[in-house]
Structure 1
Amino acid sequence: MNYQNRICCFIDILGFKTHLNETIDSHGNDVVEKINSINSILELSKSITSNHGISESRVVTYFSDSIVISYEFNEESQLFLSLLNLLYVSMELANKGYLTRGGVSIGKLIHNENVIFGPALVKAYNLESKISKYPRIIIDKEVIDEGIKYHSQNHTINEEEEYIMDIVTLDDDENYYIDYIQKSSSEFDDIEYDLYRFINNLKSNFFSNYESEPTDVKEKLDWLKQKINNLISHIKINIQNPNYAPDIIQLYSTLEYIE
C-alpha cells in the first residue's frame, strides 16, 4: 500500500453538539422536528458531496458531523468542480441554520472505502481546527497553484484561475476561503429574489439570539456579520443603478445591516 498525491477536503458542521442537545427536551423526550432537521442536513450533505464533479478517483468518508473528500490532484478541472460543490454545501447548510468550517490541503494520502490516513488529512484537519477559526472553508494556496495546472481543455490556465477566484476570496488574514456569502449568487435559481431571502435567512438563523451566545460563538458570528454587512453595503450601492427594476430597488432598499 502506497501513498497517493491527493487533494483532501475536511469539513465540519459547527456547533453540532449544541444541535444534538436540542434533539431532547428538558423532560428527556425526543424533539422529532429537530431530529428530522439534523437528519435532513446530513442527507443533504451526502447528496451534494456524492455528486462531486466528474472525478474518477473521488472518495468520500462521512463520520458524525464531519466529511472528508479526496481525489487525485491531477484530474482535469476537478479543483474548480470540487470548490463549486463545497460552495453549494456551505451555502445550503447556512441557509438552513448550520454553519460549516473546513480545510482543503494537498499531499500524501491513503483514502479508500476502509481507511483514511496520511499527511494531507492531518494538514486539512489542522487547517479546519486551528487556522480557519471562523465559519469558512479555507484552501491552502498550494492547492490552488497545483489545481489550476490541470485545467479544462476548453480554457487556459488563466481562465481556470479566474473561475476558481469566482468562488474563493482572500480574507483579511491572507487565507483563501470559499466565499458562500459574496459569491453565492451563481447557485441561486432566481438571483434577484433568492439572494434577498438568503440574506434574511442568515440574519434570522444566526443573529436572533446573538446577545445570549458565549464569547467564542460571538467571535465566529462577528466574522459572519462583517461578511453579510459587506454584501448588504455592496447591494445598496448597486441598486442605485437606474437599470434595476423598481420592485427590486424597493425590495433591497429594505435590507438592514446587522447591528
Structure 2
Amino acid sequence: MKYEYEDRAIAFLDFLGFRNIVSKTIVSANERINLLSTLQNIANSLTVNPSQEEEEEFFRKYEESSGSKLDDPEDIMRNHPMLNDPKFIETVNYFGDDEDTDLSTIDRKVTIFSDSIIISYPIDRMYALLFEIQHVAQVLSTCGYMVRGGITFGKLYHSESIVVGPAMIEAYDLESSEADTPRIILNKEYLNKASEYNDQYKLYVDFMKSIKLDEDGYNFIDFTVLAAPGSFNILGERINKDLEEIAIKLEDSGNSAESIKKLNNLKEKNEWAKRLIEPLLT
C-alpha cells in the first residue's frame, strides 16, 4: 500500500445542532430511522451520468425556474461555450458512454463519522464534487437537517479508514471558522482551479446556477436550486421551533453574557437558513 498524498477536491460537512438531533433519536424511533437512513443513503450513493429521462426532467425544471425556454436541450448543450474548447471536444464525449466520463467509475471517497461527512474526488472532477454536494445538501435539508461546510482542493490521503492532509485541514477550517451560517462555502480559488479541467459536470453546475456569491466574498452552494415548493417544510418547522425556544431563553434575566452571545449566534444561523428556504415553504 502506498501512503502518498494525491491532489483531490474535498468537501467537509458538519451537522448543526447534532447533539440535540442525537438526543431525539434516543426517545424517537422515527428520528433515529430518519437520521441513520439519510446518512446511509449518502454513504452508498454514487453520482452517475443522468439518463435521458433525468436530462429531460432537469431541463424542464430549469425552464420553470429560469422563466426561459430551452427549445432543444441537445442544441443548448452543443452551443455551450465550454464545448467550443478544442481540448474539451477532443477529450470528452459528453453524450457518449466513455467510461472516463462516467462518474460512477471514478475514485469517489466518502467518510462519515459522528456529525461530519467528508467526500472527495480526484482533482479533475472538481465540478462533480460541487454537483454532488448540492444534491447532498438538498437531501439533508429536505430531511430537516441544517449543514455547514467547506470545499477546497489540495494534497489529501483518503482511504476507507483514513482521511488526512493539508486539504482536509483547510476544508475543516473553512467550515468551522469562515462559514459561520448554515452554508457550504468554497475556497476562493476553487472555481479558478476547477476551470483548468474538462469536467462534464461544469455544464450542470452552470445551468443550475447553484453557486452564489455572498457578501463576505465567499461563494456558497445554494441547495434550494430547482427544489419543488414544500421541499423544506420539515426544516422550516424545526427552524421555527428552534427560534421560539431561543426567544424564550433570551428572555431569561439570569443568562450570562456568554449564554446570550451563543443564543444570538444560534438565532442568526436559523434566521439565515429560514431566509434561504422561505420562498419554497408551503
Q: Tell me the residue number matched to 2:47.
A: 51
Residue 120 of structure 2, aligned match among 57, 65, 70: 70
Q: In the TM superposition, what whole-angstrom CA distance separates every residue of 1:185-243 from its partner, at most 9, and x where no partner exists?
A: 1xx5xxxxxx22125444223213412133332110121133235x47xxxxxxxxxxx
Q: Tell me the residue number matched to 2:142.
A: 95
Q: CA RMSD in A?
A: 2.5
SS at match of 2:145: coil
d(CA) in 1 for partners of 2:197, 2:229: 36
TM-score by length of 2: 0.66
Q: Which has the higher contact order (CA 8 A, sep 6+)?
A: 2
Q: Tell me the residue number matched to 2:11.
A: 9
The structural deviation recorded for 1:118 is 0.8
SS at match of 2:12: strand
d(CA) in 2 for partners of 1:44, 1:217: 28
CA contact (8 A) 2:144 2:232 kept: no
The structural deviation recorded for 1:124 is 0.2
1:20-169 residue pairs with structure 2 within 5 A? 20-24=22-26, 30-48=27-45, 50-51=46-47, 53-54=103-104, 56-74=106-124, 78-152=125-199, 160=203, 163=206, 166-169=209-212
CA contact (8 A) 2:43 2:111 kept: no
Q: Tell me the residue number matched to 1:218.
A: 267
- The runs of 5 or more residues in structure 1 that have no matched partner are 25-29, 189-194, 233-254
Q: Tell me the residue number matched to 1:236.
A: none
Q: Tell me the residue number matched to 1:237.
A: none
CA contact (8 A) 1:148 1:160 kept: no
Calculate percent identity across the aligned residue pairs.
Answer: 32
SS at match of 2:196: helix
- The runs of 5 or more residues in structure 2 that have no matched partner are 49-102, 247-262
d(CA) in 2 for partners of 1:33, 1:200: 17
SS at match of 1:2: coil
Q: In the TM superposition, what whole-angstrom CA distance separates every residue of 1:94-148 from its partner, at most 9, and x where no partner exists?
A: 1111111111111111111232211100000000111111111111122211112
d(CA) in 1 for partners of 2:110, 2:203: 24
Q: In the TM superposition, what whole-angstrom CA distance separates every residue of 1:50-82 from its partner, at most 9, and x where no partner exists?
A: 4373462222112122111122212xxx22222
The structural deviation recorded for 1:165 is 7.0
d(CA) in 2 for partners of 1:161, 1:84: 7
